[in-house]
Amino acid sequence: MTEAFKAPTRLLMGPGPSNVAPEVLAASAQTTIGHLDPAFQAMMEEVKDLLRYAFQTKNSVTFPISAPASLAMESGLVNVLEPGDTAIIAQNGVFGGRMADIVGRCGATCVLVETEWGKPIDLDKVAEAIKAHPEAKLLGFVHAETSTGAESDAATLAKMAADAGLLSLMDTVTGLGGVPVRVDDWGVDITYSGTQKCLSVPPGLAPFTVSERAIEAVEARKTKVQSWFNDLNLVLGYWKSGGGGGARSYHHTAPVNALYGLHEGLRRLQDEGLEASWARHAAAHEQLAKGLQGLELGFVVDAPYRLPQLNSIWVPDGIDDAETRSKLLTEHGIEIGAGLGPFAGKVWRIGLMGETAREENVSRLLGALSKVLGRGLQAAE
């Protein structure tokens, strides 16, 4: 017989999942109830309100997709793109590349605007692409690139899209809760995130919010959305406010317990306040940056564009990437992330997300790094 799984205790300082508060785990372990239970539906309404707060939006269509954030990216794209459409995708890391891949799978033409990895999206290049492609329908970009730790100027990108009559699609999987995200002020049409980054909720759900303008685009489609599961016309039958409670129609069975956890995680964010959460992430980052300087470790991203919650660090010459991460994990119980794509083997990604973004955790990592690398002990303490 297979033995019960005993999860080891880790300090999660990679690109997500981040540490989860015991209160969130306890909430998600409450007894399962039906997804059509009035008690559950009342909780769903609260989740939607709490997400509106997190996203800083009044969008009525704001809900958690019952799947990882990658599916939310796909959902955003397949709902508005039709075969023959053109989408401009700004890429400065893995996730912009994924957007471009999905655009192609929609039968749409992708105009790829590439910026060097580790830099924020080049606004001039995007402006040129918008000018050169008046036929384009959508501008997609990543606000907070998880593969590099660079933050792009999402407000300006969304405005450029709106000014040109394009829909904007923003990936802020790593951004939400860690740095300002202002969906309404920025005028973003389609925004999605994940739960396992700065919200500190286990992975598996994807907060999602859509403007009226984007809904109109979905309703104006000539063809069916190519995905049944993602088709907003169907999903909304379940997620829309039921008013008297009886109007909700079955789409799929919602992940009840995961949603308990999200409710609790969002409540904690509400309790702390967005500004306080952003400040806590910034403070943890400052502390880390100071410590890394003492360890003679350098950032990939230039200071003004660094996401406090995702710190990409060059692996020093002569140091074995995998061995260092493995020692941190097995000897110190700390997970940090490896580099992706062109950064594989060259970069470490240190996450300070959600519950992880606390002084004691940063100190513990700096101490452990100092031991594993055999350098900079004083500076790290």
Q: Which of residues 145-174 bind its own copies (CB under 8 A)?
A: none
* x-or-dash string of contact with its own copies, 287-326, rule CB under 8 A: -----------------------------------x----
| DSSP label at residue 29 | T
* 35 counts as binding its own copies under rule CB under 8 A: yes
Among 27, 167, 190, 297, binds its own copies (CB under 8 A): 27
Q: Of 89, 82, 10, whose CA–CA distance to 355 is shortest?
A: 10
Among 115, 191, 196, 309, binds its own copies (CB under 8 A): 196
| DSSP label at residue 251 | S
**Least Å distance between CB 126 and its own copies?**
23
Count of positions on this chain that bind its own copies (CB under 8 A): 81
* 86 counts as binding its own copies under rule CB under 8 A: no
* 6 counts as binding its own copies under rule CB under 8 A: yes
| DSSP label at residue 305 | G
Dist CA 93 CA 208 (whole Å): 21
Count other Cβ atoms within 10 Å, centred on residue 323.
10
Instruction: Compute the CA torsion angle 7, 8, 13, 15 (nearest 10 deg).
Output: -30
Q: Which residues in the 92-121 window bind its own copies by CB under 8 A?
A: 98, 101-102, 104-106
**Least Å distance between CB 184 and its own copies?**
20
Place of tokens 């796909």: 74
* 12 counts as binding its own copies under rule CB under 8 A: yes
* 363 counts as binding its own copies under rule CB under 8 A: no
Q: Name which of 29 and 132 has its Cβ closer to its own copies.
A: 29
Place of tokens 């939607």: 48
Place of tokens 């290049």: 125
* 335 counts as binding its own copies under rule CB under 8 A: yes
- Which one of 39-47, 130-138, 290-298, 308-316 is the stretch in contact with its own copies (CB under 8 A)? 39-47
**Least Å distance between CB 65 and its own copies?**
9
* 46 counts as binding its own copies under rule CB under 8 A: yes
Q: Which residues in the 203-232 window bind its own copies by CB under 8 A?
A: 203-204, 224-229
* 276 counts as binding its own copies under rule CB under 8 A: no
Class of residue 42 by CB neighbours under 10 A (exposed 0-12, middle 13-18, buried 19+):
exposed
Helices (H), the chain: 22-28, 38-55, 69-80, 94-105, 123-132, 154-163, 183-186, 212-219, 232-239, 256-272, 274-294, 321-332, 359-373, 377-380
